[in-house]
Amino acid sequence: MDGEEKTYGGCEGPDAMYVKLISSDGHEFIVKREHALTSGTIKAMLSGPVCMYFTYKVRYTNSSTEIPEFPIAPEIALELLMAANFLDC
């Protein structure tokens, strides 16, 4: 892993220079974050609210507890909806 990290700077964490995109057939692509973010869909998927929604969905799917409201700021609602639709979740 250290050799990989030196080669392309790593792709983990919110400030990573690169992101790893994995296609539905399992192919991995290491792409500069700034290039990946030119796609509105990928930008929305990498944003904090989308990741927070993933956690919320896993926690409360098929839950017997009361499901709390998931707060969504109006200015990101459309992007979040598009990302959820694209990711089929």
Q: Which domain holds residue 14?
A: 10-36
With both helix axes pointing from N to C terminus, report the angle between 48-60 and 77-86 in degrees, rounded to the nearest 10.
60
List residues bridging with 28 in a β-sheet: 22
Residues 52 and 32 in one domain: no
The answer to whether position 55 is within a domain reads yes
57 Rama sector, left if φ>0, alpha if ψ -120 to 50, beta otherwise: alpha
pLDDT score of 2 more than 70: no
pLDDT for res 6: 52
Confidence (pLDDT) at 29: 92
Give the mean pLDDT of 12-33.
86
Q: What is the pLDDT of residue 8?
A: 59
Residue 82 — pLDDT band, cuts 50, 70, 90?
confident
Q: Which two tokens stand for residue 52?
A: 């927070």
Mean pLDDT of the 52-65 span? 87
Residue 43, in any domain of the structure: no
pLDDT of the residue at 51:
78
pTM above 0.85, yes or no: no
CATH number of the domain enclosing 54: 3.30.710.10
Q: Is residue 14 part of a domain?
A: yes
